[in-house]
Amino acid sequence: MGYIFFLGTDHEKINLYFPEMHDPSMEIIRVKWMPLHIPLKKPFKIALGTTTNYSGYILKICTARVCGYGEAVPSPKITGDTMESIEKAFRIFKPLLLGEEAHKIGWIMNKIYRAIPNNTAAKAAVDMALYDLVGSYWRVRVSDILGGEKEKVDTSVTIGITSIEDAVKQAIELTNLGARVLKVKIGLNPDEDIKRIKEIRNVTDARIRIDANQGYSLNQAIRVLKSIEKYNIEFAEQPLPKDRIDDLKTLRESVGVPIIADESVHNAKDVLKLIGKVDGINIKLMKSGGIYEALKMASIAKAAEMKIMVGCMVETKLGIAAGQNFALGIGADYADLDGYMDITRQPFIGLEFKDGGNIVEGERGLGVECRNISIC
């Protein structure tokens, strides 16, 4: 039970009794998950390594009336998650979720955050599933729940580390398919990287972003960025190792290309450390542990007048839809949400690339539907 207090017109305090509100239709009664392994169309190479398959988990959380889906994708070199750690985390989270009211997302996520350290991909899956469930129950898109600041945002489409000839070919193909923004992976060979950017710029007027994935030393980064400034580079993402925060500031002050932090920023506390040292941050739900923590990151970044990009790992359309809803909800400046494009089989439908950006087709929750996997 509880009381609400307010002042009447005669300035006299009035006490009103009201019962505690409990909605049994929002009580979580079932939690399930399954692993997925899907080949990629081609190997995806970055400075941190090469990926040939998608591996992740799909999580399903249900009340008596509606279900929500979330995705967990491990990235051992970035978040420390593995398929094994995600499975263990879900086993710990399940009893913490059962019996809770799904719409109390903050309460639930704080329980999840405290239960075990790290394991942000597994936490992100819980968070996504809760938002999807609540949005579906309320018959509203998650992007609108989060603020509905934008209706569309262009996404970059990534060119992995490959030969210069193949990178140029991909740039032409992607722009012909409607890409307005290209993200070019670099970070292994500075001289070759400079030439790669030059040759890509020669064949396209698309916006170009570069991402070194921590591949350079400070001196290498300064040399490369100074050499490619003339090619109208939108920004450079994480040129230096993640713990070289002060060097990021030195780099920012030494070149004309804006600097965006990625691996250096996982949560709200990391954003605070980066104020004044980079131009913006890349928020990935797999790093933050989901939308609930990501909202705090975005609030700090906006207050500090930092740019916000919403990015992704190699994810299915489910994880990408969560990132898209978050990006539109908070009005992100940039998006890099192409992680589903090279997966050979799509277990979710309802998200398509069109006119330079992703379009979420559904009107409820995250806006995508589970198809052709057993957990559906």
Any idea what the CATH number is for the domain that residue 131 is in? 3.30.390.10
pLDDT of residue 21: 60
Position 115 scores a pLDDT of 97
Residues 162-187 have pLDDT tens digits of 999 999 999 999 999 999 999 999 99
- On whether both 128 and 190 belong to a single domain, the answer is no
Encode pLDDT of 198-241 as tens digits. 999 999 999 999 999 999 999 999 999 999 999 999 999 999 99
Are 176 and 254 found together in one domain? yes
Number of compact structural domains in the chain: 2
**69 with 173, same domain?**
no
Whether residues 291 and 213 share a domain: the answer is yes
Structure token pair of residue 130: 């809760």
The last residue of a domain, from among 140, 160, 182:
140
Is residue 310 domain-shared with residue 355, that is, in the same domain? yes
What span, in angstroms and rounded, lies between the C-alpha atoms of 357 and 157? Answer: 9
In a domain? residue 119: yes
Q: What tokens appear for 7 in the block?
A: 């002042």
Q: Which residues of the chain have pLDDT under 50?
A: 1-19
314 residue type, one letter: V
* CB-side neighbour CA atoms (13 Å) of 118: 11
Q: Are residues 214 and 343 in the same domain?
A: yes
Residue at 52 is within a domain: yes
Q: Quick check: is 14 in a domain?
A: no
SS3 call for 54: strand
> Which pLDDT score is estimated for 48?
80
Do the Cβ atoms of 345 and 37 come closer than 8 Å? no
265 occurs within a structural domain: yes
Residue 191 structural domain: 144-370
What is the Cα–Cα distance from 46 to 48, expressed in whole angstroms? 5
Residues 203 and 123 in one domain: no
Shared domain for 296 and 357, answered yes or no, is yes
| 356 shares a domain with 328 | yes
- How far CA 133 is from CA of 105, 129, 146, 374, in Å, comes to 11, 6, 14, 19
The 8-class DSSP code of residue 286 comes to: H
Concerning whether 152 is annotated as a catalytic residue, the answer is no
Amino acid sitting at position 346: Q
Q: Are residues 152 and 106 in the same domain?
A: no
Sign for the pseudo-dihedral over CA of 222, 227, 229, 233: negative
- Annotated catalytic, 284? yes
Query: What integer pLDDT is reported at residue 24 of this predicted model?
Result: 82
Candidate list 123, 183, 277, 284, residue with the active-site label: 284
Cα atoms in the 13 Å half-sphere on the side-chain side of 3: 6
Tell whether 110 and 248 lie within a shared domain: no
DSSP 59: E
Q: What is the spatial distance between Cα 336 and Cα 154, in angstroms, rounded to a whole number?
A: 8
* Annotated catalytic residue within 183, 185, 287, 317: 185
What's the CA gap between 182 and 235, in Å, rounded? 11
